[in-house]
């Protein structure tokens, strides 16, 4: 045998493999658990972040792009005493006030008025061509009389209640907010850079947050209005849908309890309030936020009508996202099938799509 040839390492090959000790295994398992927990936390914070996280992301972004974190402005806020005390408000769970002649609440009276008034106007036009329409017109006008009386009665009552609730002071705040908004509009028009625009958005949000810290819901509504304005400036001027969506998610929606106006044209009507944010989420292709916004409203809808409205919106959102299973689920949950019969016509098509999945 050649003395220079390497000897085979048979001794190493035949040695038994040593298994790691129990302590080493426990450490490895703990490491895996920590990695899994970290991944889960990361997914939670990036897919369903808490409000504080959304606000932190928004503040950090605006500060970076504005080049400053100081957004304080000279704004005529209500006094500390006014902001510390919530005025007495009518119990929302109490039965709505009703007219003495018809026994109907304000919303029902308003709907009846518009229906009868529209019919009366049509009859007036018809009367110019056909005198036979006069008796029917007189009957419509007679039906309108108690409705108009009750509307005036309830309006006076609401006005007196508003004075007690401090609406007069709120009007002064409204004037200050309008002036501030007009000044911002001019400044956005003159802004020569995105940095300037982010500074203006930062100031707008700073005022909004001071008002949202008030105990007075009218002050908070003024703050929400400014926050909505800031989201629109983010989209239209800064061309940043992400910032607009974060304003809705972190500042506006946590105050959805302020959306209690039964007036269907009011921005603080519950449905209108949500739709303003949903439109921003949808334009920014944030389907998860569209769905979560409607789902959270469904949990507190309060009335069957609002619950059905939310189910209809959820079904449309899921269908647009290509999820016929969930779209069908919410369509089938609708209780008032007459009101949503047009939407229910989508059921066969969705069933067919589900079969083709």
Given 138, 164, 190, the domain boundary residue is 164
Residue 23, in any domain of the structure: no
Given 107, 136, 164, the domain boundary residue is 164
Residue 9, in any domain of the structure: no
Three-class HEC string of the chain: CCCCCCCCCHHHHCCCCCCCCHHHHHHHHHHHHHHHHHHHHHHHHHHCCCHHHHHHHHHHHHHHHHCCCCCCCCCCCCCHHHHHCCCCCCCCCCCCCECCCCCCEHHHHHHHHHHHHHHHHHHHHHHCCCHHHHHHHHHHHHHHHHHHHHHHHHHHHHHHHHHHCCHHHHHHHHHHHHHHHHHHHHHHHHCCCHHHHHHHHHHHHHHHHHHHCCCCHHHHHHHHHHHHHHHHHHHHCCCCHHHHHHHHHHHHHHHHHHCCCCCCCCCCCHHHHHHHHHHHHHHCCCHHHHHHHHHHHHHCCCCHHHHHHHHHHHHHHHHHCCCHHHHHHHHHCCCCCCCCHHHHCCHHHHHHHHHCC
Prediction pTM value: 0.65
Residue 342, in any domain of the structure: yes
pLDDT category of residue 159 using cuts at 50, 70 and 90: low
Given 110, 134, 164, the domain boundary residue is 164
Q: Are residues 197 and 63 in the same domain?
A: yes
Q: Are residues 150 and 120 in the same domain?
A: yes
Query: Model confidence over 198-231: pLDDT tens digits?
Result: 999 999 999 999 999 999 999 999 999 999 999 9
Q: Are residues 208 and 240 in the same domain?
A: yes
Q: Are residues 178 and 250 in the same domain?
A: yes
Query: Model confidence over 290-306: pLDDT tens digits?
Result: 999 999 999 888 889 99
Query: Model confidence over 73-92: pLDDT tens digits?
Result: 999 999 999 999 887 655 54
Residue 90, in any domain of the structure: no
Q: Are residues 110 and 183 in the same domain?
A: no
Judge whether residue 30 has pLDDT over 90. Answer: no
Q: Are residues 245 and 117 in the same domain?
A: no
Residue 273, in any domain of the structure: no
Residue 343, in any domain of the structure: yes
Judge whether residue 190 has pLDDT over 90. Answer: yes
Q: Are residues 250 and 126 in the same domain?
A: no
Q: Are residues 224 and 106 in the same domain?
A: no
Average pLDDT, the chain: 83
Q: Could you give the number of structural domains in the chain?
A: 3
Q: What domain range is 240 assigned to?
A: 57-75+172-258
Question: Between 271 and 94, where is the model more confident?
Answer: 271
Residue 275, in any domain of the structure: no
Q: Are residues 69 and 140 in the same domain?
A: no
Q: Are residues 66 and 179 in the same domain?
A: yes
Q: Are residues 203 and 324 in the same domain?
A: no
Q: Are residues 337 and 193 in the same domain?
A: no
Residue 137, in any domain of the structure: yes
């Amino acid at each position: 045998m050649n003395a220079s040839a390497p000897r085979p390492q048979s001794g190493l090959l035949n040695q038994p493999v040593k298994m790691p000790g129990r302590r080493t295994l426990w450490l490895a398992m703990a490491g895996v658990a920590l990695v899994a927990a970290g991944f889960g936390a990361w997914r939670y914070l990036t897919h369903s972040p808490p409000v504080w996280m959304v606000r932190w992301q928004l503040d950090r972004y605006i500060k970076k792009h504005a080049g400053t974190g100081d957004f304080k402005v000279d704004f005529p806020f209500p006094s500390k005493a006014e902001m510390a005390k919530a005025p007495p408000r009518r119990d929302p769970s109490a039965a709505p006030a009703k007219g003495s002649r018809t026994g109907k609440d304000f919303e029902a009276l308003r709907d009846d008025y518009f229906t009868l008034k529209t019919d009366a106007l049509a009859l007036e036009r018809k009367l110019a061509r056909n005198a036979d329409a006069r008796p029917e017109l007189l009957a419509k006008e007679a039906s309108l009389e108690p409705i108009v009386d009750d509307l005036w009665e309830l309006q006076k009552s609401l006005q007196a209640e508003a004075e007690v609730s401090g609406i007069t002071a709120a009007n002064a705040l409204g004037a200050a907010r309008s002036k501030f908004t007009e000044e911002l509009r001019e400044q956005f028009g003159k802004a020569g850079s995105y940095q300037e625009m982010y500074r203006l958005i930062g100031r707008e949000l700073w005022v909004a947050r001071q008002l949202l810290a008030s105990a007075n819901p009218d002050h908070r509504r003024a703050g929400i209005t400014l926050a909505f304005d800031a989201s629109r400036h983010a989209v239209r001027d800064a061309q940043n849908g992400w910032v607009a969506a974060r304003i809705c998610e972190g500042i506006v929606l946590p105050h959805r309890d302020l959306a209690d106006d039964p007036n269907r044209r009011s921005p603080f009507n519950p449905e209108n309030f949500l739709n303003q944010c949903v439109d921003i989420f949808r334009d920014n292709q944030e389907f998860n936020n569209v769905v979560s916004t409607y789902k959270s409203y469904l949990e507190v809808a309060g009335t069957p009508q609002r619950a059905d409205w939310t189910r209809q919106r959820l079904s449309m959102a899921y269908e647009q996202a290509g999820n016929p299973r969930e779209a069908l689920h919410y369509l089938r949950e609708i209780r008032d099938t007459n009101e949503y019969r047009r939407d229910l016509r989508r059921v066969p098509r969705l069933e067919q799509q589900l079969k083709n999945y």
